[in-house]
Amino acid sequence: MFLHENVVDCVVLAFDEGVLKVLLLKWKVGSFWSLPGGYVMSQESLDDAAARILADRTGLGEAYLEQFHTFSDPTRAFVSSPKDVSTVTEMMKELDPKGDLGFIDWLTKRFLSTGYLSLVRLSETKVSPDFLIDSCHWIDVTKLPPLGGDHDRIVGTAVEHLRKAIRYSPIGLSLLPERFLMKDFQQMYEAILDTSLDRSNFQRKILKHNILIRHEKRMSGGAHRAPYLYSFDHQRYSAKARSGLLS
């Protein structure tokens, strides 16, 4: 009756150098930036499509992945101005004179995009470009380049979603290594909530939940007193899954 193209766009976030970074793709043609995304195939659920797209682009089999919103502005299109369309067409011809130009259609067509939020450990990813993508970059979410279509709005909605969710669940741990310092943990919260937290009170509040395991001290590197390493106690968390971590 009314058929639509459905795509999934993944907002893949990592915590690196004290800031939240999002995985962005730089296209060969036109130097456009976009989120990793792709079609939802005929017999595929949105969750499956998102997992496939994430795995293809980052090599991650398992990762935190959650749908957060479906975007449907009828005017949304990856490229909007006629000038950009012709630029892209020219460049495509140069890149591959015999290739079909079907994807030009893709750039200008209206479709529905379902946004997925993914939280990963940057070190565990192996990002890979492909025949359309020039390169992959981890970009500070507060310093985005101009993105195609409404992808900047998608990133914003994703971060807003994360901001709400992290107050009630420890999903942020998906951003940290298996063992981590309390300082990293706090900085991760500060980056997401865009605020500063009292070191001593943060530590007490978190530890009171009894969902972290304290290990022996790290001996290595850093000058001054050696901090403890912590890891997440999945067992105990499942038990008290309803309470929420902050306030």
Contacts of 124 (CB under 8 A, 6+ apart): 60
Among 67, 84, 226, 233, binds DNA (CB under 7 A): 226
Question: How many chain residues interact with a second copy (CB under 8 A)?
Answer: 26
For position 183 contacting DNA by CB under 7 A, the verdict is: yes
Burial of 19 (0-12, 13-18, 19+ CB in 10 A): middle
Contacts of 35 (CB under 8 A, 6+ apart): 9, 10, 11, 12, 22, 23, 24, 25, 147, 151, 154, 155
For position 247 contacting DNA by CB under 7 A, the verdict is: yes
125 φ/ψ angles, rounded to the nearest 5 degrees: -95, 150
Residue with tokens 């020219």: 90
- Judged by CB under 8 A, the stretch of 17-25, 35-43, 172-180, 231-239 that binds a second copy is 35-43
Among 110, 217, 218, 236, binds a second copy (CB under 8 A): 110
**Shortest CB 160 distance to a second copy, Å:** 12
Would you call 74 helix, strand, or coil by DSSP? coil
**Shortest CB 38 distance to DNA, Å:** 41
For position 201 contacting DNA by CB under 7 A, the verdict is: yes
For position 18 contacting DNA by CB under 7 A, the verdict is: no
Among 124, 227, 243, 244, binds DNA (CB under 7 A): 227
Would you call 85 helix, strand, or coil by DSSP? helix
Positions touching a second copy (CB under 8 A) are 1-6, 39-47, 67, 69-70, 72-74, 106, 110, 112, 114, 247
